[in-house]
Structure formats: structure tokens, C-alpha cells
Amino acid sequence: MDVMLDARELAKAYGSGPGALKILDGISFSVKRGEFVSIVGPSGCGKTTLLMALAGLLKLDGGDVSFKGRKLSGPTPGISVVFQDYSRSLFAWKSNLDNVVFGMVRDKVQAKAEKQARGRELLAAVGLEGFADHYPWQLSGGMQQRVAIARGLASQSELLLLDEPLAAVDAQTRADMQDLLLELAERFQQTCILVTHDVDEAVYMADRVVVLTRRPTRVDHDIVVDLGKKRDQITTREDARFLEIRHDVMAAIRRFRAQAPIAEKA
């Protein structure tokens, strides 16, 4: 597998001078084509900041992100982001289909009818076949997030960055959405990076889990989830190896929580 994304020594502080808040402190890891990588870490350590840096949406103070061997200098159509807050990321005045079609930024030359046909296909893929002409506000939270995921896939980006995409949905919907995301990642051969607070979800979804330290954050562990590609909500979660990996990730995060609170300033 070739390397799709390579982060080297990423550094970022918010603000400057003595009041600066140091967030990223030399983050390095890489993601291969076809991999599903979860990123976890203590609350507020800088996961979203890191994801924005990987998307080319944040100016770094140091280090480089390379996407397919090229240094990233801003957003690229090859990388798309699905945000946690779907209610704000979807356009209330556009139908679900138009929201999905909006994701096809790269395909400016594609005819409208073709885009709409693909949009309908993607809505069907996320189980919303009959809701193309409805508006996001007519759907439940979980359904709205599925529209946002369909839009993320619509751009046909090779790398999908997911920032806590399931945080706001109920537990049963969350499990269904995890399986849907895994199925879509496989079907569309999508390389994915998922930021999540949920250690079980991180392990269940991923080929690898990157555990971050507290802020200013670095990579603490990079753990291979050697459970095979096929996952099952019942048997995978009962697998001894799953429990072992979950234990290691949880122990690492709890270790940071047990330490004294860090100063807000760098």
C-alpha cells in the first residue's frame, strides 16, 4: 500500500508571544491508501486542530503535511471533511439532493443531470432513497448526518476526514452508522481518518488507532488493530484481541487524565 498522507513534525500554537496556547507539538504519522485510521486523545488535546491541519485548512507553525507525495499548501479536492455539526454544515434552504450535489465541487464540467443521478445514488447508498427532495430539517439527526456523509463521498475525494461524525446521534443509530461508514469506505475504496472520543468506536472502525498525548499534543501510541477488515457489532466487540487493544488505548488516555492539569499557556 502506498502512503497517501504523511504528517511530519506538525506544530501549531493559537495566539503568539507569552499568551500563546501551544497545541500541536511535533505530530508525525502517515496513512496508507485504503487504510481506516482513528485518532483519539484526551479532551481538548487538539484533535480537531490536527484534522484541520491535515485538510489544509489551518496554517501550521512548523512541519509539513504531504498528500500523495506533494506538500499541502491549502485545501485540495482530494481531501474532504465531514464535520460533527451536521445541522450547521448542511444548507437548510437546499434539498438533500442539492446538498449532496454541492459536494461535487471538482466536477464542474459534469452535466447537471449526471450530478443529480450520482447524488441520488449516494443518497440511496446511505439509505435515504426516498428523501432526495426533502430538506435536511425534515429529517432526524442521524438521517441528516447521513446526508452529510453522502456529500463527503460525493466529492470523490480520495481521503475522507471525519471529525466526530457520530457524536450527536443516539447509541443504536451510532452502531448502525458505524457499520454504514465501514461499508461505504470499502465500497468506494475510501481512505478515512476518524477523530472520535469513543475508544470502542475508534478500535471497532479502524485498521490503526493513533493515540495522542494531552496538550501540547504528540503521538503517544500508534496501534495496529489486527482484527481483519470484517467487523461485527457483537462478535468483534467480544473478541479477546479487541478487548486487549481497547484496554491499551483506554489505559493510555486515562494515564493523561490522571496527571496534574496542564497550564493553559505554552
Q: Is 19 in the site for ligand ATP (CB under 6 A)?
A: no
As measured in angstroms, the least distance from the Cβ of 210 to ligand ATP is 13
Annotate 25-71 with DSSP letters as a single string.
Answer: EEEEEEEETT-EEEEE-STTSSHHHHHHHHTT-S--SEEEEEETTEE
CA 126 → CA 56, 71, 90, 117, 183, distances in Å?
27, 33, 16, 15, 10
Q: Is 168 in the site for ligand ATP (CB under 6 A)?
A: no
What would the grid cell of residue 57 be? 485548512
- The rounded distance, in Å, linking the Cα atoms of 171 and 164 is 14
Chosen residue from 23, 37, 81, 82 binding ligand ATP by CB under 6 A:
23
- The rounded distance, in Å, linking the Cα atoms of 230 and 141 is 27
Contact window for ligand ATP (CB under 6 A) among 39-47, 170-178, 201-209, 248-256 = 39-47
Sheet holding 36-40, edge to edge: 79-82, 159-163, 191-195, 36-40, 208-212, 219-224
Chosen residue from 47, 146, 151, 246 binding ligand ATP by CB under 6 A:
47
Decide whether 21 or 250 has the Cβ nearer to ligand ATP. 21
As measured in angstroms, the least distance from the Cβ of 198 to ligand ATP is 11
As measured in angstroms, the least distance from the Cβ of 238 to ligand ATP is 28
Decide whether 21 or 180 has the Cβ nearer to ligand ATP. 21
Nearest-5° angle of CA 102, CA 107, CA 110?
A: 105
Q: Is 156 in the site for ligand ATP (CB under 6 A)?
A: no
Chosen residue from 3, 11, 21, 262 binding ligand ATP by CB under 6 A:
21
53 C-beta neighbours (distance < 10 Å), count: 23
As measured in angstroms, the least distance from the Cβ of 167 to ligand ATP is 9
Binding to ligand ATP in span 173-202, by CB under 6 A: none
Decide whether 113 or 258 has the Cβ nearer to ligand ATP. 258
Chosen residue from 4, 22, 49, 144 binding ligand ATP by CB under 6 A:
49
Q: Is 48 in the site for ligand ATP (CB under 6 A)?
A: yes
Phi and psi for 209 in degrees, rounded to 5? -120, 125
Chosen residue from 28, 43, 110, 235 binding ligand ATP by CB under 6 A:
43
As measured in angstroms, the least distance from the Cβ of 44 to ligand ATP is 4
Q: Is 14 in the site for ligand ATP (CB under 6 A)?
A: yes
Number of residues in contact with ligand ATP under rule CB under 6 A: 11
Kindly provide the residue ranges of all beta strands, DSSP E only, lying in the chain, ordered along the sequence.
Answer: 3-14, 21-32, 36-40, 62-67, 70-71, 79-82, 159-163, 191-195, 208-212, 219-224
- The rounded distance, in Å, linking the Cα atoms of 136 and 143 is 8
The binding site for ligand ATP (CB under 6 A) comprises 14, 21, 23, 41, 43-49
